[in-house]
């Protein structure tokens, strides 16, 4: 029996589905606890979030919790995986008319030793997207292991599954009234372009990119990077051997060869 619950947290809709009715309440509690932990560590919208101490350090090493250190490492891994297309840093602009005396920092300038973060002056972290994806993946693994049931966890547009699937598999809806079946242990992420004036969009830009892989952080990073790569996205995804579905501005659907897998059709 497949049962689910939904609620809003971290500025997203959260969904938890499990294959055992008795597991739903404890599964939701575990997912909720992981979300609260990650949000308190990394959310820029929270004045008490731990990440503010890192952003205020400006060149000084900062010791952080194990939770934030893990989330920062995930964000740096995505930056390396995407050649910087999806990075953890935003650079604070200097005051108007005042040139900066410091070089612009990049993710390659950031180092994490154990739980101490070393970031250069001018570095400002925003790891919201990768933190949510990391939490989705961890939640699916935790619930499946602790409760010995099949589980699907969704935070916004990132989905991860764990344990044994329900009869008929995990059916996941995509924008545009379509759906796919996710294999056990698989993850999915969809990156969508903001609504813009069609005359202001470069030809070949994508309205959405969906990637299926075995890791939620990797799926989020690849989908977001592909959306930003524009016309070069398909070849890049092919090189990475990723299952991906892209929708262009005319509504045409493009897929990579790996998308032909029966669980991602």
Flag whether 51 is in a domain.
no
Q: Is the dihedral of CA 16, 192, 134, 265 positive or negative?
A: positive
Is 246's pLDDT higher than 50? Answer: yes
Is 123's pLDDT higher than 80? Answer: yes
What's the rounded mean pLDDT across residues 211-240? 96
Q: Are strands 116-118 and 62-63 parallel, antiparallel or unpaired?
A: antiparallel
Flag whether 124 is in a domain.
no
Q: Compare 162 and 263 and report the one with higher pLDDT.
A: 162
Flag whether 198 is in a domain.
yes
- Please give the pLDDT value at position 263: 56
Cα atoms in the Cβ-side hemisphere of radius 13 Å centred on 73: 12
Q: Are 192 and 211 in contact (CB under 8 A)?
A: no
10 Å Cβ neighbour count for 173?
A: 12
Flag whether 136 is in a domain.
no
Report for 100-109, 164-173, 198-207, 212-221: range of highest mean pLDDT: 212-221
Flag whether 246 is in a domain.
yes
Name the band, by pLDDT with cuts 50, 70 and 90, for residue 51: very high
- Please give the pLDDT value at position 82: 97
DSSP 28-81: HHHHHHHHHHHHHHH-TT-TT-THHHHHHHTTS-EE--HHHHHHHHHHHHHHHH
Is 69's pLDDT higher than 60? Answer: yes
| Chain mean pLDDT for the chain | 91
DSSP 19: S
What's the rounded mean pLDDT across residues 75-97? 84
Name the band, by pLDDT with cuts 50, 70 and 90, for residue 261: low
Name the band, by pLDDT with cuts 50, 70 and 90, for residue 100: low
φ, ψ of residue 191 to 5 degrees: the values are -105, 130
Three-class SS state of 241: coil
Flag whether 231 is in a domain.
yes
Is 265's pLDDT higher than 50? Answer: no
Flag whether 42 is in a domain.
no
Q: What is the pLDDT of residues 88-97, one digit of tens each?
A: 998 555 555 5
Is 43's pLDDT higher than 50? Answer: yes
Flag whether 197 is in a domain.
yes
Which whole-number Å values give the CA distances from 190 to 111, 187, 213, 228, in the listed order?
29, 11, 12, 13
- Please give the pLDDT value at position 53: 97
Is 164's pLDDT higher than 80? Answer: yes
Overall domain count for the chain: 1
Contacts of 112 (CB under 8 A, 6+ apart): 69, 72, 73, 76, 118
Cα angle: 106, vertex 111, 115; to 5 degrees: 140
- Chain CA centroid to CA 161, Å: 14
Is 201's pLDDT higher than 50? Answer: no
What's the rounded mean pLDDT across residues 129-134? 98
CATH number of domain containing 208: 3.10.520.10
- Residue 171 structural domain: 154-264
Among 4, 50, 33, residue whose Cα is nearest residue 138:
33
Cα radius of gyration (the chain): 19
φ, ψ of residue 92 to 5 degrees: the values are -70, 125
Token pair, residue 62, equals 């900062």
Q: Compare 176 and 167 and report the one with higher pLDDT.
A: 167
């Amino acid at each position: 029996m497949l049962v689910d619950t939904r609620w809003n947290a971290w500025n997203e809709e959260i969904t938890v589905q499990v294959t055992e009715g008795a597991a739903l309440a404890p599964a939701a509690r575990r997912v909720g606890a992981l979300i609260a932990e990650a949000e308190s560590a990394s959310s820029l919208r929270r004045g008490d979030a731990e990440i503010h101490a890192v952003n205020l350090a400006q060149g000084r090493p900062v010791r952080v919790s194990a939770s934030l250190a893990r989330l920062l490492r995930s964000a740096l891994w995505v930056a390396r995986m995407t050649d910087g297309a999806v990075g953890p840093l935003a650079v604070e602009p200097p005051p108007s008319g005042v040139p900066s005396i410091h070089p612009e920092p990049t993710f390659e300038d950031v180092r994490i030793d154990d739980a101490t973060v070393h970031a250069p002056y001018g570095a400002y972290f925003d790891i919201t997207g990768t933190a949510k994806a990391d939490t989705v993946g961890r939640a699916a693994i935790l619930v499946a292991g602790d409760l010995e049931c099949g589980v699907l966890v969704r935070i916004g547009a990132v989905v991860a599954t764990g344990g044994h699937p329900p009869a008929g598999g995990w059916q996941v809806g995509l924008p545009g009234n379509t759906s796919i079946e996710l294999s056990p242990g698989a993850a999915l992420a969809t990156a969508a372009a903001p609504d813009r004036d069609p005359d202001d969009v470069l030809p070949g830009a994508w309205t959405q990119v969906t990637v299926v892989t075995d890791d939620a952080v990797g799926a989020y990073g690849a989908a977001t990077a592909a959306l930003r790569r524009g016309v070069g996205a398909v070849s890049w995804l092919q090189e990475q051997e990723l299952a991906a579905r892209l929708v262009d501005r005319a509504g045409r659907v493009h897929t990579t060869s790996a998308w032909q897998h029966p669980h991602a059709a």
